[in-house]
Structure 1
């Protein structure tokens, strides 16, 4: 359960940090959007080190599923675009994969 919380926090840090670059380059926002963007990306990388796993690659793989679901939440909450059924199906498959990686007996 702790890893799910860490992955969720990390996902929103990463998405917000990347969105700052998107806003600057695609939405015409000022370059100053990059300052918090870089800071958020640094916090994201740091947050992933808190996971309870002995292998970075396994943490990143499991994180991927959570990231996809969080990205669709961001799409809906901050970009006012509701995910369609294919988005939901794809994210669900990814979350099941991430849960398998996280919960596997080792």
Structure 2
């Protein structure tokens, strides 16, 4: 369970970075050279998703819970926005959903 969760967090970071860099280029007039590491990051995201032993739909469903948590942590750490109690509660619910889905992978 811990290995899967850490893999999901790495996957989420790869996806967020892969989307954040083009956002910097488009919205903040960053360098077009940001697109190359963005593409590499998104390719890494796809590859990381393939490392899970479950069917793709279950992986995507469980990954969504970790993505919510990671995106909110990104909002706090990178964007400097304070999270509300609703953010923390929602992230907790999403993360618990991921744990439930992963716990059932071998039982379906």
Structures share a fold, TM > 0.5? yes
Higher mean C-alpha deviation, range 10-19 or range 21-30: 21-30
Which residue of 1 is the match for residue 24 of structure 2?
23
Partner Cα distance (2:98, 2:81) in 1 = 25
Task: Report the alpha carbon displacement of residue 96 of structure 1 after superposing the two structures with TM.
Answer: 1.1
Gaps spanning 5+ residues in structure 2: where?
A: none
**Considering only aligned residues, what root-mean-square deviation do their CA atoms show, in Å?**
1.1
* Pair 1:42 & 2:16 matched: no
Gaps spanning 5+ residues in structure 1: where?
A: none
* Pair 1:83 & 2:87 matched: no
Partner Cα distance (1:29, 1:47) in 2 = 27
Task: Report the alpha carbon displacement of residue 31 of structure 1 after superposing the two structures with TM.
Answer: 1.2
C-alpha deviations, 1:4-53, integer Å up to 9, x for none?
A: 11101000010111101111111211111111001000001001111121
Partner Cα distance (1:3, 1:51) in 2 = 7
Partner Cα distance (1:90, 1:14) in 2 = 20
* Deviating 4+ runs (over 4 angstroms): none
SS in 1 for 2:43: helix
SS in 1 for 2:78: helix
